[in-house]
Amino acid sequence: MTSTSAFHAARIFDGTTWHTNAALLVAQGRVAGIVPATDAPKGTQVAGAIVPGLVDLQVNGGGGVLFNNDLSTDAIGAICTAHAQFGTTAVMVTLITDTAQSTVTAINAGHAALNTPGFLGLHLEGPHLDLARKGTHDPALIRQMDACDLAVLVSAAQGVDHLICTVAPESVTTHQVAALARAGITVSLGHTGCDHATARAYADAGATMVTHLFNAMGQMEHRTPNLVGAALDDGRLWAGLIADGFHVADAPMRVALRGKAGLAGMFLVSDAMSTIGSDLTEFTLNGRQIFRAGGRLTLADGTLAGADIALIDAVRYVHQSLMLPLGEALNLAALAPARAMGITDRGHLEKGAHADFVSLTPEITAASTWIGGRKVGGTA
């Protein structure tokens, strides 16, 4: 007989509806339903509201660990554990532009980490980018995709549950994008100066995502809409957004969230570095020093170098600063990124979903986190 656990809370958000004085029922790591508290067995009383676990598609590090600097399964576990403390229950661990050998090592680590709690897959951000839109990526490591690179990525897709590749049309052909998409890889356009027509052509080839909208790309102008215009106007392209108050001003974020067209929508990412869950004040990436101060991470020249937030911080920002209803803010960090990856059983708490959930405080912080119905962090 299957054992069912009940988690009681004053409020439960299932991704669509807020339930009051209810209980989340969990069996075999999945949601068995949400029922009135009076109809549920005794169980765990959860302080605050129960909400879906967050899904972060761009996480470079956490807990003092940067994936580029430690390409191991232990590092993946440490990063996932660090972000679980902040309510993120599914993580795409991200490799920033590095050497070909580092990419292979990262892929092997991802293969070996499939059963790590909270590990969703790998996001390879580069090295096939536009040198002119490098951001914090090491220009010496940015290069064109060749046949060997393509073969490595296609093979990698068979060994990890989910794989995102951020590429730029300047360094990758439409034929290569089509091959990646056929292999089941999520192709994201980013770090590119490509124009609107080119972006649409790459969407035709199979690209379905845009990496950190507005950052490291051509902006939307009235006669040259560029990648930002394509991302907002093309219903096939999901677009990630770093909502930390530094990467993008509030007004364009509000415009993007209101105006995104089509079935594909917007989602939040953290773009978190190793500082999350640590007291680090600086660290290195590809031999260059990155400094932490005032909520920002920058190179010595002031270039933003990832973000100093967890995904829950972005939820709080769009709720409190952009005035989005809490349910909408949560969906941008849970349901939307899951859908962007084609995942139907994460990011919500409908029957059959993974029992990944968070105890949310009134201050919009994570008090406790559960993955598959098992508590992995917090006290509530």
Active site residue 14: no
Tell me which residue has tokens 């879906």.
52
30 is in an annotated binding site: no
Is 258 marked as a binding-site residue?
Answer: no
CB 199 within 8 A of CB 227: yes
Distance CA 202, CA 126 (A): 16
Residue 27 region by backbone torsions, left for phi larger than 0, else alpha for psi between -120 and 50, else beta: beta
306 is in an annotated binding site: yes
Three-point CA angle 341, 346, 352, nearest 5° = 130
Cβ pair 71, 259 in contact under 8 A: no
Residues 230, 209: Cα–Cα separation, whole Å = 11
Q: Is 222 annotated as a binding residue?
A: no
User: For the chain, what's the residue count?
Assistant: 380
Alpha helix (H) residue ranges in 85-125:
100-112
Q: Which two tokens stand for residue 205?
A: 């080839």
Q: Are 114 and 146 in contact (CB under 8 A)?
A: no
- Residue 136 marked ligand-binding: yes
Q: 149, 271, 308, 313: which is the annotated catalytic residue?
A: 271
Tell whether residue 363 is among the known ligand binding residues.
Answer: no
Task: Say whether 275 counts as a known binding-site residue.
Answer: no
Q: Is 374 annotated as a binding residue?
A: no
DSSP states of 151-196 as a string?
HHHHHHTTTSS-EEEEE-TTTS-HHHHHHHHHTT-EEEE-SB---H
DSSP string covering 295-359: TEEE-TT--B-SBS--HHHHHHHHHHTS---HHHHHHHHTHHHHHHTT-SSSSS-STTSB--EEE
125 is in an annotated binding site: yes
Does 304 count as an annotated binding residue? yes
Nearest to 280 by CA among 293, 265, 299, 263: 293
- φ, ψ for residue 59 (rounded to 5)? -130, 110
Residue 319 labelled as part of a binding site = no
Q: Are 317 and 323 in contact (CB under 8 A)?
A: no
Tokens of 281: 């004040």
Residues 6+ apart with CB under 8 A from 161: 114, 120, 121
Going by the annotation, the residues of the binding site for Zn(2+) are: 125, 191, 212
Active site members = 271
Going by the annotation, the residues of the binding site for substrate are: 136, 215-216, 223, 247, 304-306
Going by the annotation, the residues of the binding site are: 125, 136, 191, 212, 215-216, 223, 247, 304-306
